[in-house]
């Protein structure tokens, strides 16, 4: 069971990295300053799905981390 949790931890962390990179629109200081002055817009469609998936994976990662600590 411990080995399964460790493998799941690696897979979930890699997926979180991928989903966070998908979410970032463009990198850089000037683009960050430009986007801070834009009005808020709601997430729709695929963007919302990626956001929710990222949050769920983050919660599962924390739960899995606690399970690894308790099992060791």
Residue 5 belongs to a domain: yes
Q: Output the CA–CA distances (angstroms, integers) from residue 38 to 28, 31, 41, 68, in the order listed.
A: 16, 11, 9, 42
Residue 53 belongs to a domain: yes
Domain count, the chain: 1
Looking at per-residue confidence, does 7 or 32 come out higher? 7
> Cα–Cα distance between 5 and 21 in angstroms, integer?
24
Alpha helices (H) in 1-72, listed in sequence order = 2-23, 29-36, 46-71
pLDDT for 22-61, tens place per residue? Answer: 987 655 444 555 555 555 677 788 889 999 999 999 999 9
Residue 67 belongs to a domain: yes
Residue 30 belongs to a domain: no
> Cα–Cα distance between 10 and 62 in angstroms, integer?
12
Task: Record the pTM.
Answer: 0.75
Which residue segment(s) compose the domain that 17 sits in? 1-22+44-72
């Amino acid at each position: 069971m411990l080995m399964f949790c460790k493998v799941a931890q690696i897979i979930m962390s890699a997926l979180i990295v991928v989903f966070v990179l998908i979410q970032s629109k463009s990198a850089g200081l000037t683009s960050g300053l430009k986007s801070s002055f834009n009005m808020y817009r709601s997430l729709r469609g695929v963007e919302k799905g990626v956001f929710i998936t990222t949050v769920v994976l983050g919660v599962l990662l924390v739960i899995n981390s606690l399970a690894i600590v308790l099992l060791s």
